[in-house]
Amino acid sequence: MAVFVLDQQKTPLMPCSEKRARLLLERGRAVVVRLHPFTLCLKDRIGGETQPLRLSLDPGSKTTGIALVRELECIDLETGTGEVSREISGVEYQQGELAGYEVREYLLEKWQRACRTCNQRKGRQLIEDVLSNQPERLRRLQSQAKAPLRDAAVVNATRWALFERLKATGLPVSTGSGGQTQYNRQRLGIPKTHALDAACVGQLTALHRWNIPTLTLQATGRGRYQRTHLNRFGFPRGYLMREKRVHGFQTGDRVIAEMPTGKTAGIHVGRVAVRASGRFNIQTATKSGTRDFTRHCRVVQRANGYGYSSTPTQTEEARQVG
């Protein structure tokens, strides 16, 4: 995964590779300013040359894919034509899934939004009369008609609102259809993920360095003001702490816990859920509910309303399964 880089004045520079980030840290030329997304700040540099980047989005009802790509245009000297290839600098997506929407968009584009002959033949007849001799097709169409269109409606409203908001910034904005995105992905042999869908949006000839880990963000919120749980009749059934912080820790902080002995002996890194007793629950990538004492925990990043996790590459995932 690409590592974000800042100069001494906290101005964004071009992202670097993981290997270069390790070298910068080992040589003392950079410090870590943020764990998720992993960001470095250079000690000995102000300003620098940057290359044009494109922020690609694939909005969805429950999942939104985001990809930061660098576009390379290759010009053929004989014909004067150009081809656009992209190199991924970083990918991320929010939790959730919206299935079937991209497929419907692809089919509509493929058929140029015309099943007009079928519609003319049907006219004002009932669908049961038109397909009386095709019971399987009738059953399939009726089941599709009963399916809720809530996800499609959310996507249609979200993507146009997002488009208008981006246009208001004055930056160049381009759009693409779901059918074109799926065509690019299948033509280049790229697996189906929302983050990679975002990288395949629009005109595209090639996509490089796509098999990299993906950062997953999930909105967790910053807590709530209600400190009393109620039952279904409105009577209190439990009380929360009056203060959100316990010994300097707050629910949502990412911590490192080093337990010397016991069943949970070892090093645990994850999201903490505080308790008034001082024994905290730590949600790690492999376990949830690991309890550690306050004196064994150290904060690495304060809560900002989001939960972070990492999705491995295709090779790493196959190795874990094997």
pLDDT digits (tens, 9 = 90+) for 219-231: 888 877 888 888 8
| Highest mean pLDDT out of 71-75, 78-82, 272-276 | 272-276
- In the chain, what is the straight-line distance between the N-terminal and C-terminal CA atoms, in Å? 23
Are 272 and 175 contained in the same domain? no
Do β-strands 279-283 and 266-273 pair in parallel, antiparallel, or remain unpaired?
A: antiparallel
Are 98 and 26 contained in the same domain? no
List, for residues 87-104, the tens digit of each pLDDT value: 766 666 555 443 444 445
Closest listed residue to residue 103, CA positions, set 19, 13, 182: 182
Are 102 and 247 contained in the same domain? no
Least confidently predicted of 129-133, 147-151, 281-285 = 147-151
Token pair belonging to 229? 């749980």
Q: How many domains does the chain have?
A: 3
Asked if the model's pLDDT at residue 181 lies above 60, the reply is yes
Are 26 and 58 contained in the same domain? no
What pLDDT sits at residue 24?
A: 92
What pLDDT sits at residue 42?
A: 92
- Residue 237 belongs to a domain: no
Are 115 and 74 contained in the same domain? yes
What pLDDT sits at residue 96?
A: 45
Are 300 and 187 contained in the same domain? no
Are 266 and 215 contained in the same domain? no
What pLDDT sits at residue 82?
A: 55
Are 176 and 128 contained in the same domain? yes
State the CATH number of the domain containing residue 267.
2.30.30
List, for residues 200-221, the tens digit of each pLDDT value: 888 888 888 888 888 888 888 8
Angle at 78 between CA 73 and CA 81, to 5 degrees: 35
pLDDT (mean) for 133-138: 86
Asked if the model's pLDDT at residue 14 lies above 50, the reply is yes
- Residue 279 belongs to a domain: yes
Are 184 and 298 contained in the same domain? no
More confident residue, 220 or 43: 43
- Residue 32 belongs to a domain: yes
Are 134 and 282 contained in the same domain? no
Closest listed residue to residue 199, CA positions, set 213, 189, 185: 185
Asked if the model's pLDDT at residue 41 lies above 90, the reply is yes
Q: What is the pTM of this model?
A: 0.66
Distance of alpha carbon 91 from alpha carbon 53, whole angstroms:
13
Are 158 and 88 contained in the same domain? yes
What pLDDT sits at residue 92?
A: 62
- Residue 232 belongs to a domain: no
Domain limits at 11? 4-42
What pLDDT sits at residue 109?
A: 58
**Cβ-contact 77, 100 below 8 angstroms:** no
Q: Where a domain ends, among 183, 205, 220?
A: 220
Token pair belonging to 9? 């004045």
- Residue 188 belongs to a domain: yes
Q: How confident is the model at residue 106 (pLDDT cuts 50, 70, 90)?
A: low
pLDDT (mean) for 256-269: 81
What pLDDT sits at residue 119?
A: 61
**Cβ-contact 120, 192 below 8 angstroms:** no
Closest listed residue to residue 84, CA positions, set 195, 228, 199, 250: 199
> What percentage of the chain reaches a pLDDT higher than 70?
80
- Residue 250 belongs to a domain: yes
Q: Where a domain ends, among 205, 220, 235?
A: 220
Are 184 and 300 contained in the same domain? no
- Residue 37 belongs to a domain: yes
